[in-house]
Structure 1
Amino acid sequence: MRVLFLVTLIICGALGTAAGGQETDIGASMPENQPSFSYEQVKEDSSWMQDAEGAVSATESESSEQSAATAEPATFKLETVCGISLYDSREDVVAKLGQPSEIDKDEFFADLEVYRYEGLRVAFAGDFIQYVDIDPAHGLDIDGNPVEATREALVKALGEPDYKAEDGIVFQRDEALLKLFLDPQTGKPQAVSYYHIATV
């Protein structure tokens, strides 16, 4: 019985030794030339992607700034100024602005009758408008859009002037013209005139 027990122990020990010998060392089983990677290496290798993304963002930002800088001015047609069209009749003007505070003659052309309102004057030859003069302090409304009566604001709204004179700048849209009179010494706005090219 003891002999059988000893034999059993010997067999079990042999089996255990064989099993231990079959355990595989994972590190030893990998090929010697297999590359290994660390977290720091991966982080460094991926840094180029972040640099590329930054470059793309910078390019997009520059492109947006260039687009804004080259944006076209607003497309105003000079169809109305301060609500008045050059094709309005006397009745149209009164309907829009009310009765004038005063009606008198133009100081240079006696055949022109001038309707005076606060901040502006409308001159008629018969039933046709010859010009609309606006005080810069009154402010402008071009095609229903408020615009300051300054050189900078008008250039932004209408683009570069079509004509430049000693006393101001002129913008033209088809048969309509808008002139900003400027002080030759200071460059400050003095008056704004809206008129038809046929009256020039």
Structure 2
Amino acid sequence: MMKLLLVMFSVISPFSVQPAAVPAAHDMQWTVVEEETPEIILAADRSGPVQHFRTLNDISLDDSIDDILVNKGQPIHKEHDPYLGCPEYQFKDVTVGLCEDTGVVNYVHIDASEKRLKLNQEWIDMNIEAIRDVLGKPYYVAEDGEVFLRGSQALKVYMKPGSNYIEGIDLFDESVS
């Protein structure tokens, strides 16, 4: 490096008495540096011990309408979701957006009125600290809440802006939404 600096200085210095030639590549000293491979952290590995989102309040994104009715009984209310263009089924402890023509569960929603949520058969208190304890750091923090990813499935905790007050929780497949 010093030799290179001297050569460069001699090239640009008006007082140089050396010829302004750069040494050939084979005359220079080379150091081979082994390339370091950066650590790749998958979205599924960024958070805590929950590796997959299988169910939210006993409903899976893979459930059919028959599975849901067997599990939850008849809905309390059914209405048309204008955003999805599909029905939304409201049960006692959960709301399910399901397109009947495709049979796809688009989302599972829990209101903030619930004191706890049941994620993969594990009860979690309905507060952001308890959820973070189980899920780890969120993948993304939005103005309206925090998003936790596991593969293509996302759990979004909607919060009142500027607070830790939970307004609701959605489970959905982010590749479908």
TM-score for both structures, normalised by structure 1: 0.60
Equivalent position SS for 2:52: coil
Q: Distance in 2 between matches of 1:177 and 1:79?
A: 11
Shift of 1:76: 4.5
1:88 and 1:94 map into 2 onto residues whose CA distance is 10
User: What TM-score comes out, normalization by structure 2 length?
Assistant: 0.68
Q: Which position in structure 1 is the counterpart of 2:75? A: 100
Question: How far has the Cα of 1:112 moved from its partner?
Answer: 1.2
Greater strand fraction, Structure 1 or Structure 2: 2
Does residue 135 in structure 1 map to residue 114 in structure 2?
A: no
**Percent identity between the aligned chains?**
27
Higher radius of gyration, 1 or 2: 1
The CA deviation at 1:187 is 2.6
Matches within 5 A, 1:1-200: 73-109=48-84, 111-126=85-100, 127-138=103-114, 139-200=116-177
How many residues are aligned here? 128
| Counterpart secondary structure, 1:156 | helix
Coordinate RMSD, CA, aligned: 1.6
Q: Which has the higher contact order (CA 8 A, sep 6+)?
A: 2
Does the Cα contact within 8 Å between 2:98 and 2:107 map onto a contact in 1? yes
Q: Secondary structure at the match of 1:105?
A: strand
Structure 1 unaligned regions, length at least 5: 1-71
Flag structure 2 segments of 5+ consecutive residues without an equivalent.
Answer: 1-46
The whole-number CA distance in structure 2 between the counterparts of 1:199 and 1:149 is 26
Deviation, structure 1 residue 107:
4.0
Between structures 1 and 2, the one with greater helix share: 1
